[in-house]
Amino acid sequence: MTIEEIKEKLNRDDRFCRYNEMRIDVIRPGYAEAVMEITENKLNGLGIAQGGAIFTLADLAFAGASNAAGFRTVAFTSNISFIRPGTGKRLRAVATEVSRGRRTGVYSVQVFNDDGKVVAHGTTTGFISEEKL
């Protein structure tokens, strides 16, 4: 499966992200960017992007970066720190591979607002299966 086919598969098959209008925009081995428009249905009671939406966007970027090698990878631990409110028109999550072994990989994920300021920062560890995508 080519890298573009992997990107298409993840965008098509992640029904939760597709339903919530999130998509992988950029993908290459060990790196991915996912984007989300901040729309009315993604706001919390304070009028800013809901934390769960931000976390989901970060998780989608992780999925792109970790699965880009062509092996089915799922998160088994993840943490996130919310640094500033998710405001503006769009958020972009960037996942970068920190370490990849035979069965586990560690990824740093940052979510940015329209001004390029960090909204959230997290780390996700994934389990790499032997199953190809």
Q: Which of 80, 120, 93, 123 is nearest to 32 (CA)?
A: 93
What confidence score (pLDDT) does residue 68 get?
97
The pLDDT tens digits of the residues spanning 38-51 come to 999 999 999 999 99
Q: Which of 115, 71, 75 is nearest to 95 (CA)?
A: 75
Which whole number is the average pLDDT over 66-77?
Answer: 97
Which whole number is the average pLDDT over 76-83?
Answer: 98
What confidence score (pLDDT) does residue 101 get?
96
Which whole number is the average pLDDT over 50-61?
Answer: 98
Structure pTM?
0.97
Say if residues 54 and 25 touch (Cβ distance below 8 Å).
no
Adjacent-strand bridge partners of 91: 36
CA distances from 128 to 24, 65, 67, 69, 90 (A): 20, 12, 8, 10, 30
- Percent of the chain at pLDDT above 90? 99
Average pLDDT of the residues of the chain: 97
Q: Would you place residue 29 in the very low, low, confident or very high pLDDT band (cuts 50, 70, 90)?
A: very high
